[in-house]
Structure formats: C-alpha cells, structure tokens
C-alpha cells in the first residue's frame, strides 16, 4: 500500500484508456502523455496498460506502507527519503520510505508507476479516471492506494537510455493535416493558422487545449458544421476563431 501524504495538484489514476465505447458517447480518456505513461510501466516491468498515477505540473509526496518497485517519468526532480534520485529509472522502496516528486521543469504531465500496478475497479474495461462522468475521482491527501503484487514483479535499476527520454519544450512546431471542413475557412484564414504562433491558455484541461493567437477567419460557410466524430488531436475552430485542440477527455462528437 501507499499513502498520499501531500497532493498539491490534480492527481488521478490512468491507464491507456476506455476503448470501444465512443458509440455510446463515452470518451476514451487515458493518459495525456501516452509515451511517458508507457515508459513508466516499462521501467517497473508492467504491461503498457497497467494503472498508474498521472500528476499535473507538480507531483505528490508518497509514503510506502509496503515494499515496491516504482519509477517516475517526466522532466522533474525526485527524492527518496530526501535523497535525489533520477526520473526515468526504477527504484526499490521499502516500508516507511517517502517519495517526493517536485514540479515539472517542462511539460505538463508526469507519471508514477508501481510494479504490479495500482488496484482499482475497472469501469467499462478501464481504470482511467474521467471526472466529468464520475469515473473515479481526483485523489487527495490522506488517500491510501493498494498495489497489485508490488513485491512479486519488477526490478530496480532499470534505466531508460538517454536517447529514448522524451525531450520536452515550451515551444514546439506542430504538424497538422487539414480536415474535411477546409472549405469553411478562407484561404487567408488557413495561412494565418499554419503560419502563426499560438499559446496554450490557462483555460485548458484534459478535455482540450484552448489556444490564444491570431484569429482564424471562416469563409461564408461559417463555423457551423454537421456533428462529426472527434479523434484525438482534432482541432476545432468555433465562431470566435480561436482553435481548441481536443485531447484525452474530449467529447466523442461535436459541431457548431
């Protein structure tokens, strides 16, 4: 078992998502940074889809009530019993040990995996937390979580080679493919979008990133479209002309 001694930001249980239910209006959800989540599970010997902890910007402080192998992924400082340790590497913690995960230096999401995974009751085949439907909840200080066969699986000392560690940056160039509603934008509007810099605003969450930047001009067809399926990474442009990137907790369909 582990105890959450301090939870300074949003902390949830996630896996790789809830597939096969979008036709019923249920989002996929799952880890926001799937690569880092998979790598965290890899480092402790888990399968890719084992439940783990996802934190936003700043990690929790955890006390171990039983021995376990764990790994933290993300551009973050980590301490075990006050001693600095490395992210992207697995470690052995014994009963009474305290793990402190700091603030992310870059990126927005980090992960903590435990050998065997976190015990939880799946909903529609997944342990991913989806707050809008009360599938799970945000974890809080004082919560106790059970680990699944934590001592029987995983090995400490597994380290991800430097060349495989994701490189996070506060500025990125994003490649896009124009969608089937391309004719709802003027030629100038498309040029503006493809050639401009946009900033993720504070009005962003697991559902989507709202961007601030030059307004994207619609054509005479306007912003209204027939309701359409929304894949991961789809970019919606409502009447305001401000783009929204749809993410893990996105609705399954939408139109304006």
Task: Quote the CA–CA distance of 102 and 61 in Å, as a whole number.
Answer: 9
pLDDT-derived band at 152 (thresholds 50, 70, 90) equals low
Whether the pLDDT of residue 70 is over 60: the answer is yes
The fraction of the chain above a pLDDT of 90, given in percent, is 86
Contacts of residue 45, defined as CB under 8 A and 6 or more positions apart, other chains included, come to: 69, 90, 115, 153, 154, 155, 158
Q: Where are the domains of the chain?
A: 2-159, 182-254
Query: E strands, the chain, where?
Result: 2-6, 11-14, 52-56, 61-64, 68-75, 78-80, 83-85, 90-93, 98-101, 106-114, 144-145, 199-200, 208-212, 228-229, 235-236, 244-246, 253-254
Percentage of the chain lying above the pLDDT 70 cut: 97
Mean local confidence (pLDDT), 216-224: 91
d(CA 19, CA 3): 30
Residue 224 reports pLDDT greater than 60: yes
More confident residue, 153 or 17: 17
CB neighbour list of residue 34: distance below 8 Å, 6 or more residues apart: 16
What global pTM score does this model have?
Answer: 0.92
Helices then strands, each counted (H, E), the chain: 2, 17
The string of pLDDT tens digits covering residues 235-250 is 999 999 999 999 999 9
- Residues 100 and 85: their CA atoms lie apart, in Å, by 10
DSSP 8-state assignment for residue 49? T
Give the burial class of 34: count Cβ atoms within 10 A of its Cβ; 0-12 exposed, 13-18 middle, 19 or more buried. middle
Q: How many Cβ atoms are within 10 Å of 5's Cβ, its own excluded?
A: 15
Answer positive or negative: Cα dihedral of 40, 44, 45, 50: negative
Tell me what the mean pLDDT of segment 126-141 comes to. Answer: 96
pLDDT band at 256 (very low <50, low <70, confident <90, very high): low
**Average pLDDT of the chain?**
93
pLDDT, position 156: 73
**pLDDT tens by residue, 166-186:** 888 888 899 999 989 999 999
Higher pLDDT, 155 or 206: 206
Residues 34-51: what's their mean pLDDT? 96
Tokens (6 digits) for 207: 């559902």
Q: Which residue has the tokens 């010997």?
A: 45
**What's the rounded mean pLDDT across residues 76-90?**
97
Top pLDDT among 79 and 149 is at 79
Confidence class for position 150, pLDDT limits 50, 70, 90: low
CA–CA separation, 232 and 252 (whole Å): 10
**The tokens of 49 are what?**
């889809």
Phi and psi (nearest 5°) for 38?
Answer: -60, -40
Alpha carbons 180 and 189: distance in angstroms, whole number? 15
Half-sphere exposure of 207 (CA within 13 A, CB side): 15
Checking if the pLDDT of 37 tops 70, the result is yes
- For residue 109, how many other CB atoms are within 10 A of its CB? 20
pLDDT at residue 130 is higher than 60:
yes
The superfamily (CATH) of domain 182-254 is Cyclophilin-like (2.40.100.10)
For the cut 70, the answer to whether the pLDDT of residue 164 exceeds it is yes
């Amino acid at each position: 078992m582990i105890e959450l001694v301090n939870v300074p930001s949003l902390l949830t249980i996630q896996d790789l998502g809830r597939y096969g239910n979008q036709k019923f209006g249920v989002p996929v959800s799952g880890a926001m940074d799937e690569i880092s989540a998979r790598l965290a599970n890899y480092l402790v010997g888990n399968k890719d889809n084992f439940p783990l902890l996802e934190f936003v910007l700043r990690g929790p402080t955890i006390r171990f009530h039983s021995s376990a192998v764990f790994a933290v992924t993300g551009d973050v400082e980590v301490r075990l019993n006050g001693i600095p340790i490395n992210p992207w590497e697995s470690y052995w913690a014994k009963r009474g040990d305290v793990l402190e995960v700091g603030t992310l230096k870059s990126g927005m999401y980090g992960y903590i995996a435990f050998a065997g995974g976190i015990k939880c009751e799946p909903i529609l085949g997944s342990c991913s937390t989806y707050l809008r439907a009360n599938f799970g909840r945000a974890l809080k200080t004082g919560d106790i979580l059970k680990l699944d066969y934590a001592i029987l699986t995983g090995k400490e000392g597994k380290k991800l080679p430097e060349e495989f560690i994701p490189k996070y940056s506060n500025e990125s160039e994003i490649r896009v493919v124009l969608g089937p509603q391309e004719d709802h934008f003027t030629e100038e509007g498309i040029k503006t979008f493809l050639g401009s810099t946009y900033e993720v605003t504070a009005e962003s969450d697991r559902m989507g990133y709202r961007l601030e930047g030059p307004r994207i001009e619609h054509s005479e067809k306007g912003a209204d479209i027939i309701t359409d399926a929304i894949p991961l990474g789809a970019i919606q442009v409502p009447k305001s002309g401000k783009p929204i990137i749809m993410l893990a907790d996105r609705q399954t369909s939408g139109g304006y």
